[in-house]
Structure formats: structure tokens, C-alpha cells
Structure 1
Amino acid sequence: MSIPQSCKAFRRTADNSSVEMVEEKISPPQPSQVLIRIHAVSLNYRDVAMLNGTYPVPIIDRGIPASDCAAEVVMIGSEVKDFQPGDRVTVIFDLNNITGTEKELKSLASDVDGVLRQYAVFDQSFLVHLPKHLSWEEAACITCAGPTAWLAMNMPRSSGVALLHGTGGVSMFALLICLAAGIRPIITSSSDAKLSTVQALGKPGLVQTINYKTHSNWGEKARELTGGQGVDVVVDNVGPTAIVQNLFAIARRGVVSLVGFLGGFKVDEHPDVLGPVLLKNAVIRGIIPGSKVDLQNVCKFLEEKEVQLKPLMDDKIFSFENSKAALDYLYAGKHMGKVVIRI
């Protein structure tokens, strides 16, 4: 099968502050490798954090951004057994994280080139089959947000109450998991319009909401919505600055899953931080995108439950040529859910 000699891609500029389109050579796959054609990419906050200098770990210079994609297998190496041309696949976020026991990260877009390009070659061990019922754009939203939400929610589970912060990618993915699994969701935002939109996703009264601008003590409000019992799990993309209110919100033996750092990393001094952790027998744990096994479990769940991911996507889909505008749009915070680029 003939393949193109080159393709378009976006790389970070020399100072890593923006992106520019470049021409990349396409190499045929080696025996254990797979050549994929990328149909859609979704962005994460980390993609803009790398450009504005707030990403907390070093990144490769002039790397290709983005970690989340939906792609089609074009050509396989002679030793590839699990994939065939035409298969729908995605690439795992951390190339070193197959089972969850590996120690060193090798993440797309930060440690190695990401997926904001038309074609790419990856080892077969880095690929996962995508659910067949999803569009390319929907499927591109799974890679990072899916396993992150899955782990943060302590899945699999089929009961309880979850508090979700904001309407970004991980929170919206967690919301869809809640709706499919029978978990009661409470979601926060500063926008009544966004809260109204998420309420419409479930049966009347099922999705409860809190405007954290209206209710500054949103942790106490969340507890009030549970009749004083507290929530079983918090999916927190704000970070340590929200820890006090999170501890107000959780029930005994509750779990606070830290999945982001929108509010920064500094924890303000507060006399009530350690007390609730001890008295409630609570757990605070850090979450990063899961392993290949976790991603496979998410895809299996989505396919078995026939979960539609369209509500996860922002209404505005960008063309590949407008990838820089997509990154700017994400950074401006105008989105709801995942920002998607169609290639």
C-alpha cells in the first residue's frame, strides 16, 4: 500500500509560547509499529499550560502538542497481530503506562511528540481499540479525560454521590459516567447557563448544581444537597486551593481525587485541613491519566452502556488549520467540555 511521503503537523515554536504548522516526513511502520491517520484531536488544559509557562514539569522543545486523538489504522508492520487497516484506535496518554505499575512517565506532547498531526507511527502496544458507536470527534475525547475521570470516580461503582468541579473535559466525562452507572452527580460552575445545560442531560432533578460564585461556601452547600450526609467522591480539577471546601463536602470515608491545578498548587494555611481528614477517615489522592488497561476498561464501559459522548464536546469544532485558534479558545475559558479539532 502506498502512503503519503509527508504530512502537516503543528509544533510549538522555538520559545514554546505558540504553535506553527510544519511539514513532517512519514516513515513506513517497523515490524511492531502501526501507521495511523488521525481524524480528530481534543485538547486538554495542559496543552495551553505548556504554552503559557504554567505546566509544572519540563517539556521537550518544539514538540507536537496534544495527547488525545481518534485515528484509523492505515498500515501495519509484519509483527502486528491485534490491529488491521481500517481499525478505529487511539493512543495511550503515557507510553510507559501499560498496566499501571510503571514508575517513569513518558507522556504524549510533553516527553514525546503528541498527536496534532495528520499521520503518526506508534508501536502497537501503545494503541487501544475505540468504541464503534462514536463519531471521530466524540472518540477523540476519551484518551485523557476518560481514564482520569474513571480513576477519580473510583470506578467501577453503581451508587453514591459525586461532586464534580466545573464543566471541563474531565468533569463532563465524569458526569456522563455518573449518568450511565447510576451515580448521583452534583456539579459546580460560575455560569448559570452552563449549569442549566448539564441539568438537561439527566432526568429532571437528577443532576444537582451549585454556582460557586453565588455560594462561596460551596462545600457546605454540597453537603446540604445530600441531606447532611456528604458526597462519596470529589473530582477536583481546581487543586489544593479547593481542599478545605472539598473536606466540608465529603462524607465519612469520602475520597477527594485531585485531577487538575486550575487554582494553582499553593495550599493556604487553614486550621481545619487535617482535622476533617482524620475525623472523616478521608482519602486525598492525586490522579493522572491512567494506564492502557484503564483506557481499555473505559472504552468497554462506553460501548456496553452505549454512552454518547456528544454532550462532552464544546459546540464549536475547529478545523486543523485553525488549531492555534482552538488553543486560544481553550485558554480563554469560553468552552464547555472538550475543545475538538477535526483533521
Structure 2
Amino acid sequence: MSYPKTYRSYRRTGPTYPWSIVPSTEKLPETLAEHDVVIRIRAVALNYRDFAMLKEGRYPVPVDPNGIPASDCAAEVVAIGNAVTKFAIGDHVSPTINHAHLLDTPEERDLEDIAAGGNGPGVLAEYAVFEEKVLVKLPAHLSWEEASTITCAGITAWVALGALRDPTKGTTALFQGTGGVSMFALLIALAAGIKPIITSSSNEKLDRVKKISPEIEGINYKTHPDVAAEALRLTDGKGVDYLINNTGGNSVPSDLKTLRTKRGTLSLVGFLEGFEAKWDSNVFLTLIVKAVKVQGILSGSRKDFEDLNRFLDEKLVSLEPLIDRVFAFEDSVAAFEYLETGQHVGKVVIKI
């Protein structure tokens, strides 16, 4: 399969703030390195990080000010280098989010992160070239739009749920908000037999989410400001086994009260309310007495991506409920603006 000499993309307009994204034209190499794979990108899913990178002080990791944004895509292999063995033309693939952490070995943990769409190459483009080692095959039953949502939100949710290494019978989980990570975690939970609870300040959003399955419980934190008390009520006083915190440090005291004693895991994955938090000494006492686990999650490895894809494939999990709205490639700026409003439930996708 042939590919063109040039292709369309979007790039950030740094280094002077405020940044935006603008159309750009890129060149594809005439000759491929032996392990290179050329992909034709079919759909891109946006994450909070993508627009946060455009805002001064909103994203606390290195970002290429003029780089191509976005990390999540579904693509088709259109050309391969002469030493590529894992992929063939026509395969459906996606690059993993951290190009330095593929197998999560001790050696890799000492390497500097190369984050797709951040300080590494992004995917908001018609084509891209990656080394085969950073690519994974996507589940065959998913549409381009569904498959594009896995890379960041899916892997983060998967790791936060312990990659389902522990038995799931009788397990419950609470997910903050209705964004991509929470909604992906909800779909994984349902497929694995985990009882999900999701929070929002909008009854409209909660009603929309609960239509996915009668197993889903919802908590409106505006009408039930004591989320821990409501979660304990919904779990017969036991608490939840998993809690995904997307908002930041201020809810951690409540989160710890929500967790199941000696079994609960709190995963800190987001900072929608900023980086600062005010805690009193009771937080540390609660952590010790309840003997729960707190972990920070940036995302996951290529192995995590492959394991999640295997789970989605075996369970034939539909990711259609995850998709809130699909934009045309030419409307990418509008897609970023819509994401920033926070009106979405799940993922905002750009079709290319």
C-alpha cells in the first residue's frame, strides 16, 4: 500500500502563551528505517491533558511547544520497514502513550518519559511513523472511533483497577466524574463483574450513564456532599475496593473514608481541581488504621495496553457508550473547545 509525500496535521502554537492548535503540513520519509511502520490514522480521541497542555501552568510535565498534540488514536498500517516482524499492512494499531516504558521493567523505570502528544510525537494527523516496538494491535471488533479511546484513558483505568489481578466477586468501585477514565473504568468494571458507582454534579449526566446498565449506582455530589457516607450506604457499610480520583488532593480525606478496610485501593490519576490540597493529620491516621493502598498513576506500559486489549477482545466489550461526540478533522479546534467546556460524558473523538 502506498502513501503520500505530505499529509495534514495540527501543531501547538508555543512557546508564547496562550497556545492554540493550527493546521500544518508534514512530510513522510521517502525511505523507511528497518523497524519503522507508517500508519494511516483513522480516529483520534482527546484527553484532558491535550487541552491542559495549551494552558500555562495546567500540565506539570515537559511539553513540546510546537509539537503535534494528542496521544490516542486508531490507525491502519500502510507501510513497514524491511525488518518489521510484528505487523503487516492492513493491521489495526495504536502507539502506546509512553514510548520509553514498554514492558515496565526496572531498567525502564529509570528512563525519562517520552509521552505521545507531549514531549513525544503526537497523533492529530493523517499519517505518522513509529517504530514497531511502540505499537500494539487493536481489538478487531471495535470501530475506529471506539478503538481510538483506549490508549490513555483505557490503560489508566485498567492499571487503577489492578489489571483485574484480584478476584472480582463482590468487588465494588467508585469513579469520580463522567470523563474518559471514569467511563472507561466503568465499562471494564461491568465486563469484569465489579459493581460500579459513579459521581457527578449533574443528574442529567448520571441518568445518561445509568442507562448503560442497571448495575450502575450514581451519586450527585451537589445533593449528597458527603460522598463517603453515600458510598458506604450503597455498599452496606463496607466501602469500595477501588476508587479512582480524577479531581485532585482535596477529596483524598473523603476518599479514604470511602475505601474498604484492608482491601481498598485509591488511585490518584487527575487534577481537575488543581494541584494544591489541605489535609489534617487525621488523613494519615486513617490511612494507617484502615490499612489501604494509595497509588499515583500516570498511565501504563505497552504490556498493560496489550493486556487490556486482550480483555476487551475476550469479553467483546463495546466501547460505543464511551463516545460522547465525534468531530471532523477540519473541526479539531472546535473539538478542543468542546472538551474544555466539560459538557461531555466519556470521550470526544476526531474522525480523520
1:50 shift after superposition: 0.4
Q: 1:265 aligns with which of 275, 278, 286?
A: 275
- Residue 79 (str. 1) matches residue 69 (str. 2): no
Q: Is contact 1:241-1:264 (8 Å) kept?
A: no
Q: Find the partner of 1:147 among 142, 155, 173.
A: 155
Percent identical pairs in the alignment equals 48
Q: Find the counterpart in structure 2 of residue 135 from structure 1.
A: 143
SS of 1:151's partner is helix
Indicate the residue corresponding to 2:115 in structure 1.
Answer: 107
Contact 2:250 2:279 in 1 (8 A): no
The CA deviation at 1:267 is: 1.6
Give the distance between the partners of 2:32 and 2:182, measured in 1 at CA.
Answer: 36
Q: Is structure 2 residue 134 aligned with structure 1 residue 126? A: yes
Corresponding residue for 2:73? 69
Q: Is the 8 A contact 1:70 1:139 kept in 2?
A: yes
1:313 equivalent to 2:313? Answer: no
Q: Is 1:298 matched up with 2:308? A: yes
Query: Contact 1:34/1:73 (CA < 8 Å) preserved in 2?
Result: yes
> 1:29: Cα distance to partner?
2.5
Q: Partners in 2 of 1:180 and 1:250 — Cα distance? A: 22
Letter aligned with residue 24 of structure 2: V
List aligned pairs for 1:187-226, cutoff 5 A. 187-202=198-213, 204=214, 206-226=215-235
Q: CA deviation at 1:226?
A: 0.7
What letter matches 1:94 in structure 2?
N
Q: Which moved more, 1:24-33 or 1:178-187?
A: 24-33
SS of 2:158's equivalent in the other structure is helix
Q: CA deviation at 1:55?
A: 0.5
CA distance in 2, matches of 1:282, 1:267: 20
The AA in structure 1 aligned to 2:303 is V
What is the match of residue 32 of structure 1? Answer: 35
C-alpha distance in structure 2 between counterparts of 1:2 and 1:173, whole Å = 35
Q: Which residue of 1 is the match for residue 340 of structure 2? A: 331
- Alignment RMSD, CA only? 1.1
> Are 1:237 and 1:261, in contact at CA under 8 Å, matched by a contact in 2?
yes
Using the alignment, how far apart are the partners of 2:163 and 2:97 within structure 1? 19
Q: CA deviation at 1:76?
A: 0.4
State the distance in 2 between where 1:290 and 1:269 align: 28
Q: 1:119: Cα distance to partner?
A: 0.4
Q: Give yes or no for contact 1:9–1:23 (8 Å, CA) kept in 2.
A: yes
Task: Judge which range, 328-337 or 10-19, deviates more.
Answer: 10-19
Note the C-alpha offset of 1:152. 0.4
- How far, CA to CA, are the matches of 1:29 and 1:307 in structure 2? 36
CA drift at 1:326: 0.5
* Equivalent residue for 2:289, pick from 275, 279, 300: 279
State the match for 1:322 in structure 2. Answer: 331
Q: What letter corresponds to residue 60 of structure 1 in structure 2?
A: D
Checking the alignment, whether the CA contact within 8 Å between 2:51 and 2:340 is kept in structure 1 is: yes
User: 1:124-152 deviations in whole A, cap 9, x for unaligned?
Assistant: 00100000000000000001111100110
> CA contact under 8 A between 1:72 and 1:86: conserved in structure 2?
yes
Matches within 5 A, 1:44-59: 44-53=47-56, 54-59=58-63
Following the alignment from structure 1 to structure 2, what is the Cα–Cα distance between the partners of residues 323 and 215?
36
Q: Post-superposition shift, 1:30?
A: 1.2
Q: How far apart are residue 313 of structure 1 and its match?
A: 0.8
Query: Residue in 1 aligned with 2:12?
Result: 12
The amino acid of 1:12's aligned partner reads: R
Tell me by how many angstroms 1:113 deviates.
Answer: 2.0
Q: 1:238 aligns with which of 210, 233, 247?
A: 247
Per-residue displacement from partner, 1:260-298 (whole Å, max 9, x unpaired)?
111112121324211110110011110111100000000
Matching residue's letter, 2:251: A
**In structure 1, C-alpha distance between the alignment counterparts of 2:270 and 2:222, rounded to whole Å:** 20
**How many pairs does the alignment contain?**
340
SS of alignment partner, residue 23 of structure 1: strand
Aligned partners of 1:231, 1:4: CA distance in 2, in Å?
52
Q: Which amino acid aligns with 1:164?
A: F
Q: For 2:197, which of 186, 189, 194 is the aligned residue?
A: 186
Q: Secondary structure at 1:335's aligned position in 2?
A: coil
Which amino acid counterpart does residue 198 of structure 1 have in structure 2? V
Structure 2 letter corresponding to 1:178: A
CA contact (8 A) 2:253 2:279 kept: no
Alignment of 1:117 with 2:128, yes or no, is no
Where does structure 2 lack aligned partners over 5 or more consecutive residues?
none
Length-normalised TM-score, structure 2 = 0.95
